[in-house]
Each structure stands twice: as C-alpha cells, then as structure tokens.
Amino acid sequence: MKRKIVVAITGASGAIYAQLLLQKLQQLNSQIAEVAVVMSDNAKQVWEFELDNTGYKTLPFKFYAKNDFMAPFASGSAMFDTMVVIPCSMGTLGRIAAGVSDDLICRAADVILKERRKLILVARDTPLNLIHIRNMQTVTEAGGIICPAVPSFYSNPQTIEDVAMTVVNRVIDLIGLQNESYRWSE
C-alpha cells in the first residue's frame, strides 16, 4: 500500500530534520502515493536561518498555507494515513494535546488522531517541564507517537547530517517505509 503522508514543519529549532526527511521521502517515492507539506511562518524563518537556504521552495511536493482549512488532509475522507510534525515545537504539541485546531497543522493532527491513523511528533526541545511531559502523555494516550529528536551514535555518524539522519531514519521506520539504514545488528 502506498502511503499518503502529511509533513508539518513548525518553528522549533531543527530544520535539518525536516529537510532530510523531505529529501528521503523523495528517494522513497515508489512507496508513496502523496506527500503534502504545511509550514508555519516561523518554520520558514528557522529553515532559512539554520540552513542558510530556501530549499523548501524547490521541493516537488504540494505545499499548503498554514490557514488553508480546505486542504484535503483537513478532513478524514482524504485518507492520509500518516502525519509527521518535524520538528515539533512544544507550543504545537500543546495545542494538539488540547485539541485546539487553530491552524492547519493542528487541524490535520486532530483529524489523524480522530481517524486512528499514525501521528508522529518529533519533539525538539530540552529540558522538558511538567506541562510538556503531560502534553506528551495526552498525545500518546490519544494514539500519537512522540519521537524526540534524539540522535543515536552507534552507527558512528561522521557529519552533522549523519547525526540528524539517525533521527530521520527512525521516523521513516515509524512511518512504515522500507529504508536502507544502519541497523543495530550490523
């Protein structure tokens, strides 16, 4: 089954994770029916600041405005099966946990949860306060997956991209796509 995936990018630090995920989804396009992307205004600013480029503008995916409630994935009938919020700010996580659908990112997450589909939040903040932890608990109990942007090092990454890719490969696994990456048994 080919996946229909929503990728949401918030203004948390960690634009490299979003960039690498979108590049990897391009490579895995034979397994994907559709990728839809929504970015917050802050996400665009952080991407440009951290990555020193506007590469998101050249990606071959359909982008939707943060307030476009007519986007297909704002409804469960569009049958998007997976949503990844990468990086996921604590503010976005909190709004998702509270069911506040004040923008397309939170509305889409609400739809994914109500339809019992896969929501992956790549939380990118530290340290965590009790409110963050409780919001993570709420999202988890509602069926979401909290995947903190915590890299692994057993693959002996050599560059910052290699380090970030350890998180992205984990997300690809959680989506359920076939992907060649380092495995612990190797």
Averaged over 158-181, what is the pLDDT?
96
pLDDT digit string, tens, across residues 108-156: 999 999 999 999 999 999 999 999 999 999 999 999 999 999 999 999 9
Sign of CA dihedral 48, 139, 183, 26: negative
Domain count, the chain: 1
Would residue 111 count as lying in a domain?
yes
Would residue 184 count as lying in a domain?
no
Would residue 64 count as lying in a domain?
yes
Would residue 185 count as lying in a domain?
no
Beta strand pairing call for 145-146 and 62-64? unpaired
Report which residue type is found at 143: G
CATH number, position 60: 3.40.50.1950
pLDDT digit string, tens, across residues 57-113: 999 999 999 999 999 999 999 999 999 999 999 999 999 999 999 999 999 999 999
- The pLDDT assigned to 184 comes to 77
> Which domain covers residue 163, as residue numbers?
3-175
Cβ within 8 Å of residue 23, ≥6 positions away: none
Would residue 93 count as lying in a domain?
yes
Would residue 180 count as lying in a domain?
no
pLDDT digit string, tens, across residues 8-50: 999 999 999 999 999 999 999 999 999 999 999 999 999 999 9
